[in-house]
Structure 1
């Protein structure tokens, strides 16, 4: 895994949904912490190999998928086991959208569809959908034919 590129920096800054419930004054700390955590630990990690950390009573499960680092953070009922399920659903959705583990270019090309999937998986900081077929159905960009 290369050091954080400008691509990863842009994506990290753009993914504000990942900061749901975090006060604005703490967001920079968490972003910096996660970037350092990834830089220190993701080198040489295989695609979808899960790593777990704990910081300030908060669990972090993270992995790499192609050129993309994925972090899932939670506390209380969202412990490392629950977060492992969430990250599995996210990596599956990204692979479905991209057709394979994404390169930087492919991730950016599919960014809109990936965000739609993330919105269906996690809503206001809570796990909402984990079923692959349901997520695919919900992110279709066509109106439903039957009601």
Structure 2
């Protein structure tokens, strides 16, 4: 299960968060832990360079894209033991946390047209939230195909069945 997707700015302010199966009383802990993890480790990291951490039997993959930091927390079938070799991104239904963050960063670049600044991210906030909802649904990696995600976030009724 994907427990959390969190996107923060460079100062550590949370821009978007999605929790799945995390009790409300634990969410504050995860927010502060992830922001601190990013502050400690993301300085000087190149865009889309993946970092991996393990905490309380869950895996965390995080990266920087433009001015935002992206964190994905997974457990059980979403563990980093399924991480594909670099250059080979076999997208499957049951993927790793790294696959999930790859799809999210790809969708963010498509929506924003480039690695986002904080202002551009906030300007495209609605579409970004729709993308996240189409990518991760109830803790599972739902959609990975860029073209399908683009069609689903158009907010028009589907014409093909």
SS of the residue corresponding to residue 47 of structure 2 reads: coil
- Count of residue pairs brought into register by the alignment: 139
Aligned to 1:9: 13
> What is the 5 A alignment of 1:1-147?
4-5=10-11, 8-11=12-15, 14-15=16-17, 17=18, 19-80=19-80, 81=83, 82-145=96-159
* Alpha-carbon offset, residue 9 of structure 1: 1.4
Q: Which has the higher contact order (CA 8 A, sep 6+)?
A: 2
Q: CA RMSD in A?
A: 1.5
- Note the residue ranges of structure 1 that are not aligned, 5 or more in a row: none
* Alpha-carbon offset, residue 57 of structure 1: 0.4
Higher helix content, 1 or 2: 1
Higher strand content, 1 or 2: 2
- Note the residue ranges of structure 2 that are not aligned, 5 or more in a row: 1-8, 84-95
TM-score by length of 1: 0.89
TM-score by length of 2: 0.82
